Amino acid sequence: MKIEKDIQDFDTIGDDHVGSSSETPLRQDAFELTSSEKIDIIKGDVKHILETLGLDLTDDSLKGTPNRVAKMFVNEIFGGLDPAKKPSASTFDNKYKYGEMLVEKNITVYSTCEHHLLPIVGKAHIAYISNGTVVGLSKMNRIVDYFAKRPQVQERLTIQVVKELQKVLNTEDVACVIDAKHLCVNSRGIKDVASSTITSEFGGIFKTKETKREFLDYISLDTAF
Ligand SMILES: [Zn+2]
């Protein structure tokens, strides 16, 4: 049975967390509906799921849930699907002539696993070496947050952050390491609370052993203030 085979394949892929592309797989018509139209439809879908599970949605505690979840999906946790929310690409000249590596570490990552729709929580560490252009420090946090606010796989998130910064900074010399916990691994399935997943993407000079080592040494510094 082909369909059963497909379902089996999807289940296997889901638990192995294999990503298929560095681009988020969006439909052609992804932005034909407005946000409020999407919220209206998703609201009905969430209601349907909860009712199917046997819950009484007239209960005071549950009656607002479909609307709350729909708004949260569209405006918050999956808000980064909307290109209009991409952080603006304002850059500055490197006036200090700072030519060394700049590292922004311990950037909080809140994302959602696209295989189980459960949270991914962790830290991102980013580095770049300027070729004349710099970005504001918080821009790196914003870029991570924008790409994190999508159904994601961690490998793709890491690559998307690097690609975006390479474009904004006009240099290949960008790197990103993400260390994150996937609640689909920690709280269900294998239920391994302790494990976390590390992914990395090294562009340009960060592919060389020495520069990669320097970056990894900086992010292993134990910063406490
Ligand atoms: Zn998952």
3-state secondary structure the chain: CHHHHHHHHHHHHHHHCCCCCCCCCCCCCCCCCCHHHHHHHHHHHHHHHHHHCCCCCCCCCCCCHHHHHHHHHHHHHCHHHCHHHCCCCCCEECCCCCCCEEEEEEEEEEEEECCCCCEEEEEEEEEEECCCEECCHHHHHHHHHHHHCCEECHHHHHHHHHHHHHHHHCCCCEEEEEEEEEHHHHCCCCCCCCCCEEEEEECHHHHCHHHHHHHHHHHCCCCCC
Which of the following is catalytic: 125, 152, 176, 182?
A: 182
Per-residue model confidence (pLDDT) at position 131: 92
Average pLDDT, integer, range 60-83: 97
Instruction: Give the mean model confidence (pLDDT) for residues 59-81.
Output: 98
Q: What is the mean pLDDT of residues 42-62?
A: 98
**Percentage of the chain surpassing pLDDT 90?**
79
Of 104, 125, 152, 154, which one is the catalytic site residue?
A: 154
Give the model's pLDDT for residue 1.
Answer: 45
Query: Which of these ranges, 56-60, 92-96, 151-155, 179-183, has the smallest mean pLDDT?
Result: 92-96
* Ligand 1 centroid distance, CA of 33 (Å): 27
Is 51 tagged catalytic? no
Q: What percent of the chain has pLDDT over 70?
A: 91
110 strand-pairing partners: 121
Q: Average pLDDT of 44-48?
A: 98
Q: Is residue 8 flagged as an active site residue?
A: no
pLDDT digits (tens, 9 = 90+) for 76-128: 999 999 999 999 878 888 888 888 999 999 999 999 999 999 999 999 999 99
* Residue 95, pLDDT score: 81
Per-residue pLDDT band at 15 (split at 50, 70, 90): low
